[in-house]
Amino acid sequence: MAKEIVKKVKLEIQAGKATPAPPVGTILGPAGINLQDFCTKFNDATREKMGDIVPCEISIYDDRSFDFVLKTPPAGFLLKKVAKIQKGSAKGANQVVATISEADLKSIAETKLPDLNAYTVEEAMNIIEGTARNMGIAISGRNDKELQEQAQEALEEEKEMAKREAELEAMEEEVKADTPVDVPVVGEEEKETEEEEK
């Protein structure tokens, strides 16, 4: 009789470094599986990928046994690794933080192909290129000129906005300076009239 899956859990763990401590223990502990057993099996399976973040899908059965499937590292992680950056752009495609080669893009696409909704390496490259664009990573020969232009336009737009805001602030200051200090506050007059009537 086939075992029944009672729970599926997805985790992203650094290869070869799973321990029963949080976050692994926090997520898998309540499921009642042997944490040390999972950590040992995961670490053995990912030993050759040391340094990478490895997504893992764990199926937990009704008898508290488990199976897991390793996925390819996240595209963002692979892009940052190849581009040698700590994090992507905070402004997305409007700020280029790094440039990678088309060969790097192809290599990442080939790695990710099994987990992507794509049938060819070219389709996978297009998907990874989109992720790279959102992270502010240009691909030389593919979209680097376009992204540089876009970043330049965004910078000019930002300068224009800052200039407008400065002008607006100056105008507000001018209005405040021109306003007489003893301007009656609306509502105060009515109070005074009431008091006089009493």
Residues 49 and 85 both lie in one domain? no
Per-residue model confidence (pLDDT) at position 70: 86
The 3-state DSSP class for residue 103 equals helix
> Which helix (H) or strand (E) segment is 13 a member of?
strand 5-14
The pair of structure tokens assigned to 16 is 């070869």
C-alpha 110/C-alpha 129 separation (Å) is 13
The pair of structure tokens assigned to 136 is 């502010």
Residues 14 and 43 both lie in one domain? yes
Residue 57, domain extent: 5-70
Percent pLDDT > 90 in the chain is 0
C-alpha 121/C-alpha 112 separation (Å) is 9
C-alpha 77/C-alpha 80 separation (Å) is 5
pLDDT tens per residue across span 53-80 = 888 898 888 888 888 888 888 888 888 8
Does residue 156 lie within any of the structural domains?
Answer: no
pLDDT tens per residue across span 40-57 = 898 888 888 887 888 889
Does residue 30 lie within any of the structural domains?
Answer: yes
What pTM, to 2 d.p., does this model score?
Answer: 0.59
Angle at 143 between CA 80 and CA 96, to 5 degrees: 50
CA 14 from chain centre, in angstroms, equals: 18
Q: How confident is the model at residue 178 (pLDDT cuts 50, 70, 90)?
A: confident
Residues 62 and 16 both lie in one domain? yes
Does residue 174 lie within any of the structural domains?
Answer: no
Q: What 8-state DSSP symbol labels residue 12?
A: E
Q: What is the DSSP string of 127-192?
A: HHHHHHHHHTEEETTTTHHHHHHHHHHHHHHHHHHHHHHHHHHHHHHHHHHHS-TTPPPTTHHHHH
What's the total number of domains in the chain?
A: 2
C-alpha 76/C-alpha 63 separation (Å) is 36
The 3-state DSSP class for residue 58 equals strand
Residues 105 and 129 both lie in one domain? yes
Q: How confident is the model at residue 189 (pLDDT cuts 50, 70, 90)?
A: low
The pair of structure tokens assigned to 147 is 């992204």
Give yes or no for a cis peptide into 74 (omega within 30° of 0). Answer: no
- Residue 13: Cβ within 10 Å count: 19
Residues 83 and 129 both lie in one domain? yes
Does residue 152 lie within any of the structural domains?
Answer: no
Residues 59 and 96 both lie in one domain? no
